[in-house]
Every structure is written in C-alpha cells, then in structure tokens.
Amino acid sequence: MELFFYISLLITLFILLVSVIYLFIYKNKSSKYPKAPLPPGSTGWPVVGESLEFLSTGWKGHPERFILDRVAKYSSSVFKTHLLAQPFAIFYGAKGNKFLFSNESKLVEIWWPSSIVKLFFSSNTQASSKEGAIKVRKLLPDFIKPEALQRYVGIMDDMARRNFADGWENKEEIVTHPLVKKYAFSTACRLFLSIEDQQHVDKFYKPFEVLIAGMISIPIDVPGTQFNKAIKASNIIRKQLIFIVKQRKIDLGEGKASPNQDIMSHMLSTSDENELQIADKIFGLLVGGHDSISSACTFIVSYLAELPEIYQGVYKEQMEIANSKAPGELLKWDDIQKMKYSWNVACEVLRLAPPIPGAFREAITDFMYKGFTIPKGWKIYLSINSTHINPEYFPEPKKFDPSRFEGSGPAPYTYVPFGGGPRMCPGKEYAKLEILVFMHHLVKGFKFEKIIPDEKIVVNPMLAPAKGLPIRLYPHKN
C-alpha cells in the first residue's frame, strides 16, 4: 500500500513536471518575446481612445504634434495608443521607417481603417481589398515606368496649358487648391481612362469632391452626416466607372479601343476580373492620381509666393527651357531632365508639407522593436511629417533649403513622402512629371502673392490650406 502511494506520487509529480515543461514551451512558441513589455503610452478614453486628439491635431494643421508630444513625453521612438477603435503602435524616425519597410509581408502588411475600405471598395470586394491593391501595383509599372512616361510628357504639357488658359489667364485673383485639383483630376482621367471631354470630367469630378471631404469624417452612416454623403458619392462614382468599364470592354471587342491605350484597357486585356473589381481598382487610382499631387502643387505655389529668391531660381531654370523651344512646341522628356533645381524645390516642399502625414500597417505576427513587444493584430502608424522635421536628419528643419536634395540627398529612410520598401508609391515618377510640368507653366506665366499670408493649414484628408490658398496674379508681360 505504501509502495503504491509512492508510485502514485511519482507519477503525479512526473505528470505535473511534464505539464509545466509543456506549458513553458507552448508559451515560448506562442509568443517570441514573452518578457518584453508593450511600448509606453496611453490608451486614452474608453472606446474612443486618443482618436479625437489625433484627428484634431490634423484638423488644426499640426498633425505632427500628436506624435512629437508623445515621443518627448515617453522618451521613446515607438509608443502605444488607441485610435479608430484599435490598439496602435506609433513609429517615429528613420530607424522605424527602415524596420517597417524592410519587414513588409514578413512582420507587417498594409492596413486601412474600415471607413476607408467601406468608401473605396464595394461590399463584394472588401474582403479581397489587400489582394486587389497588390494586383494594381503589379499592373501599374507598365504605364508609369520612365520609358512609358515619356509618351505622356506632351499630353501633360497640353493639359497644363489648357488648365492655365481656362482657370488662370485674365484673372486678377484665384483660389489655387480647387483649380489645381481639377487640373490633376482631368489629367488622371485623360491618362487612365482616355476621357478628354471636359464637361464629362467636370460631371465626374463632383461626387469625388463629396467623397474626399468625407474621408476623415466621423464614420457614422446616418442620413445627413458627412460620412453618409461620402458613401452615397462613392456609390455614384462606382456606377459611373462600371458603365465606363463595360463600354470599354465592348470597344475592345469591336476594335475601337486598343489594349495599351490606357490603364483601364490594360486591366481589361490582361485580367480575368469582372467589371466591378476593375472599377474598384480604377476608383483608387483616380483618387491617388490626383489628390496628393494637387496638395503638392498647391504648397509649391504657397512657398514660391513666400520666397522670392526660390521663385527666381525656378523661374530662371524654366525660362531657359522655354526659350529653347519653338513657339507652340510641347515639352519633351529631355526638357524634364533639365529641371533639376525645380525638382529640388518640389522635394523640399514635400519634406515640409507631405500630402500624406503618415501610413498604416498591421502586425501579422508578434514581433519586438526597440525592446518592446508589438502584438499580432495591432495596427501601426508610421509618421512621415514628424520624421521630416527631425533636426537630427535635417538641420534647421523649418528652414526652406532645396540644397538638401543636391548630390546624394538626405540619408536613407529620413525622407519618405512616397513611402519606401516594397510599398514605395508606384506613382512616384508620374507625380514628379506632373508636378514639374505644372511648375513650368506656373512660373512661365505668373508671379503671385498670397492674399491670406498666415493661412491656416488643415488635413482634409490631404494637407491643404484651409481657405484653398487664394492668390493675386501678376502675369508676365512676355
């Protein structure tokens, strides 16, 4: 009996020991960094977290303050918060950018707030929105690589001439941002969809204005709210795009359109996706192809109005190009390559006023950064604008200095208006071309001054002057 008791005790102890070992191994397998703490920070108020403060700093025109205040408070380049009903890790600085860009699809992947998914993807394609974005990125290089862009220089030049003739010439004052947005949208419609009729473009543009105004509104889908209006506008746009896609499909079948005439034809010719899926992809391209570019062009006008010596440098370079052309001759690819100072100026504008203040990711596994655990499922926000004004990377960060971009330019991962890594914006060269063509016609035609010198800046959803940047025009006599 006593022997049985000792045997039972040994068996029990053995089972307990095995269980403890198993639990220890399992715990280590289920979490790579069980002892690493979460990043410092606050989850804010119940439910809303710190969302209101995060959004309000953008509405007030200083989105970087939310980031920089907490970086200083916690003495850390990564901190936790709670935004948009999600736990977040905020990454700040070049090292954070490098880590995230280098671990795309390994530790993190693209993520969008549910409100954005609801606006830009139909209910039938929301589940595959990430896969759809990957497919679009694979299709785009054929149309926006430098060799392909050479074909668009003349078209963009013609579009810019029309824009300035219709909206700027014979005007004493204009409001810059709305005009630039319509110009960039018209150019996107021409190059992506082959739509040239301006009346068609104008009709198409109206629901886009409503949509964009509701992108960062409070996502409450109740009649009368900004978000509800944005959803209705999204549905109108999608119906129009489906009609355009169906008509193009017919035209391709009848030989009235070519497979390579624009992005839409290419998608229809090389993809087995249906009209709705293609319409959703073009939807995103039209927004990305005009809203960030129009923000950049608007702030280029703003800085050139403030800084006469910078304006003079751009003017000198562009007039040398203009004077080398015959009357009415369109710009060529070689002309664009000569606009080096102008592009340095544009890059400095994008440093100080990046159209998109930051980017979202999602942790697809537990990982550790800077000694802190980032749990699987947490959302990540990498701050672009606050990194751009870090004095460690850019001495006198608030000073406008295009020479920062001479030679090899800023250190890697310190300047990221177009993102980086596998998710580097595929439209970077397209944006560069459109911005430079705009700058050419801007300074060739006008000098200008701000009507509201200290105009407030807002994020809505891109960085923009609150009143649209009204300016007074002084046309050049020649």
pLDDT along the chain (478 residues), means of 10: 34 36 41 72 90 86 90 95 94 96 95 86 57 56 74 93 94 97 94 90 90 80 90 93 94 92 87 86 86 95 98 98 94 97 98 94 97 97 95 97 95 92 78 97 98 92 93 91
The pLDDT assigned to 17 comes to: 38
Q: Could you tell me the pTM of the whole model?
A: 0.88
Is residue 78 within 8 A of residue 92, CB to CB? The reply is: yes
Smallest CA-to-CA distance from 85 within 212, 227, 220, 210 is with: 220
Q: What sign for the dihedral angle of Cα 23, 25, 29, 34?
A: positive
What's the pLDDT score for residue 42? 94
Task: Give whole-number Cα distances, 310 to 88, 315, 349, in Å.
Answer: 40, 9, 11
Q: In the CATH scheme, what architecture does the domain 123-350+422-475 have?
A: Orthogonal Bundle (1.10)
- Residue 230 contacts residue 99 (beta carbons within 8 Å): no
CA–CA gap between residue 115 and residue 218 (Å, rounded): 9
Residue 401 CB contacts under 8 Å (≥ 6 apart), including other chains: 348
Query: In the numeric block, which tokens belong to residue 193?
Result: 């969809």
Instruction: Look at the chain and count its residues.
Output: 478
Binding-site entries for heme = 425
Q: What's residue 136's pLDDT?
A: 54
Q: Is 89 exposed, middle or buried (0-12, 13-18, 19+ CB in 10 A)?
A: buried
234 Cβ neighbours under 8 A, 6+ residues apart: 119, 120, 207, 211, 283
CA distance linking residue 68 with residue 65, whole number of Å: 5
Domain ranges of the chain: 1-30, 33-119+357-416, 123-350+422-475
Which residues line the annotated binding site?
A: 425
pLDDT at 287: 86
- 204/359 Cα distance (integer angstroms): 28
Is cis: bond before 470, omega within 30 of 0? Answer: no
Q: Architecture of 33-119+357-416 per CATH? A: 2-Layer Sandwich (3.30)
